Structure 1
């Protein structure tokens, strides 16, 4: 059991670095104490129930959330919250569960049973491969492969098995036989019936980077340029609250667009023919914040100290909240995972959440998933895909740890070159000399 910080108002008074550390550490408990008992993989969600606040485990492992959880585990080792040996043991359990899980042309489903590895359908036709969730998992696994580099039997086996999982993903299969776009889902029962093309701008850039980087089943670069980069919400160029937005849907969309891919992919100095991705993400965050300050719908609580719209639970279910889809729900992960892009503004939000809302928002696994002051509603849930980026992006702000690891992956560097990206992490190749 990790240290449990239960006094939110005392935390709010800490210096910045100590507060960030406390938030990271408490949030990491979701992936350590709150993981699936059978496999150690990340559960999709956990729910606090009853006056004793005992938590109820969901029965579904989340593949994308597990990728973020692996990255959070690396942070935990680096910060000394768990030992390297403890982390390797946990990763060994997780690795074994992933190897026994049912895969589809190498891709994992969105949800699975941690004990058996059987697929748990997300919906009637979404009952097999989910390429985007698989990409988040592979991103985390590749960071672990880079981090656990020691020459010991356990570490060597982990790296070898990560290579197996990585190499067996048939990214090219998900072009439906050579079309110039990736498809999100495939099922042995329903084939391509969902027919969900992965087009941008959204959270899926990492899927194309890995598909171009794959050692065995890579896609041609034209799949990125003709598929992702010609999405209906790719190019923008309009201004919102006086801030021009190069790419993305109106008002930028939910903030996880600036988080999920960039847990590993370092946006600092990352450019291609379409955008400067650090600048893009900073503008996206600024627009999201400016909307909440302007607060056109008059939602209680919104302001400079309370902003952040992204996908999360809300009083009526689950929704991808954004400036143009705003029902008054603030999701702590939206601002907290934006720490690299707006440090002073995010720290103001973190202190406000703790001081103003206390134990209604600060619980066993860090900040609850969301709250809505208009409805007097505070979530009793935590979600893996929301908790993970908090730990990871806060660490990237502090040390760049996950960015350095992921960008050091030789295959990733090759994939970025194939897609004509430039980055400070890309040393000149022989053909550049």
Structure 2
């Protein structure tokens, strides 16, 4: 087992401590990647398939690996080029064992062949994370070398072949996806969530752009609330307030909705972070461990689908599900990674919480960093802590930690993506003004 130097977890984590956590988190994308094709495992469980979203996040971290001196730029470019080349040449078509269709990709792929597994869905949002990662390396690798020029060509081809209008299925909003067995999934991206990035990328496409009306349709069902005395655009799981922000610095940027509410999406994510902490402090369901320095509810692994009596209280527990605050679902499961990913928004409450998690034997100093989730209410006799801890790390949890630490420390990804033409175009077509635009 690889160890990194132990940070000082008896006092507030320093920049060096966050650098160590970032480094060990990044190791996931180096260790859990098939070197033959660049596909990245969904999770550390043996035999796990590749996750198209994790591949996108792995791409997005490559510039960080270079800037932090972990990989030489020349070799990092080769890693990016090989990964993009394999994806671009994966089979696209209506066949049930293809890798994707109409430019989008299936959620999970066989890590050797790149073919669809588990009859999973063609996922618009997971494809968006892939496209964002491809655009990241295309923006970063701007030198006049054969590999870097090829990266730009491959990324453009991968992104520009996505048919965003097809993915709307004759409606105003984007669908969640499609299956060859029964067609489009009967759910649409409406109301605030991680779909913000999806629409910006769709609007920014130079080949198959979404109509501007699609963004208005997405925001039409936004839910502005007052929660614990804080005004914010509500979405329960904390990750929904973070993933679009890995690439886009929303400070000062406002669309029509945020103009009307005298806010922006960055400030909204800050408010959501405080809501999660306040919910844990109030702890209405009286779960063990919740408090000022133990919070963070998101899509995560859990103890399992079961009901058990705990200290005379009948409790319902969940497996992998999108947990949220303050309206649930909630089963006592907390995710350290989603706390770290809020570092740029609210460092004054994130840093003490990271310190507390660092004291809890959750793997902060070990390979891949914090275990993604734990539940102190669910007792496990042979656990080193006495309670449940997720046995696996997940590829889609590693990216937000590594990238948001970098944005907190230097703003590197945010500054880089200001030069990404599709994102700038998508923001403008969505009606964003102000800030760095």
Q: State if a TM-score over 0.5 links the two structures.
A: yes
Cα distance in structure 2, aligned partners of 1:355 and 1:176: 49
Gaps of 5+ in 1: 48-55, 427-433
Counterpart residue number, 1:86: 75
TM-score normalised by L of structure 1:
0.88
Aligned to 1:100: 89
Give 2:40's aligned residue.
Answer: 42
Q: Which residue of 1 aligns with 2:391?
A: 380
CA deviation profile, 1:255-292 (whole Å, cap 9, x unmatched)? 01111111112121121111211121111111011101
Distance of aligned partners of 1:12 and 1:33 in 2 relative to their CA distance in 1, 3 Å threshold? farther
| Whole-angstrom CA distance in 2 between matches of 1:118 and 1:417 | 36
Match of 2:320, SS?
Answer: strand
- Structure 2 distance, partners of 1:379, 1:59, is 15
Structure 2 match to 1:4: 3
Task: Give the distance between the partners of 1:59 and 1:322, measured in 2 at CA.
Answer: 26
- Name the residue aligned to 2:179: 187
- 1:311 corresponding residue in structure 2: 299
For 1:403 and 1:122, locate their aligned partners in 2 and report how far apart those are by CA, in whole Å. Answer: 36
State the 1:409 CA deviation. 1.1
Task: List runs of 5+ in structure 2 lacking aligned partners.
Answer: 91-98, 259-263, 305-318, 379-386
For residue 104 of structure 2, give the secondary structure of its aligned residue in structure 1: coil
1:241 aligned onto 2:228: yes
- Give the CA deviation at 1:4: 3.4
**How far is 1:60 from its partner?**
1.0
Quickly say closer, same or farther: Cα 1:142–1:423, change in 2 above 3 A. farther
RMSD across aligned positions (CA): 1.9
How many angstroms apart in 1 are the aligned matches of 2:330 and 2:116? 33
Q: Which residue of 2 aligns with 1:263?
A: 246
1:431 corresponds in structure 2 to none
Distance 1:76 1:14, change over 3 A: farther
Q: Deviations over 1:190-243 (max 9, x none)?
A: 222x222111211111110111100000011101102x1123xx222x222221
Alpha-carbon distance in structure 2 between the residues aligned to 1:342 and 1:97 = 39
Which moves more between the two structures, 377-386 or 348-357? 348-357
Aligned mate of 2:351, from 347, 353, 356 = 347
Name the CA distance, whole Å, in 1 between partners of 2:80 and 2:3.
Answer: 23
Query: Which sits farther off after the overlay, 306-315 or 73-82?
Result: 73-82
Runs of 4+ in structure 1 off by over 3 angstroms are 10-15
C-alpha separation in 1, matches of 2:116 and 2:370: 29
Query: Structure 2 vs 1, CA of residues 72 and 122 (structure 1 numbering), >3 Å: closer, same or farther?
Result: farther
The 2-side partners of 1:33 and 1:112 are apart by 18
SS at match of 2:255: coil
Q: Which residue of 2 aligns with 1:322?
A: 324
CA distance in 2: counterparts of 1:14 and 1:348, whole angstroms: 6
Match of 2:21 in 1: 23
Q: Please state if 1:391 is matched with 2:402.
A: yes
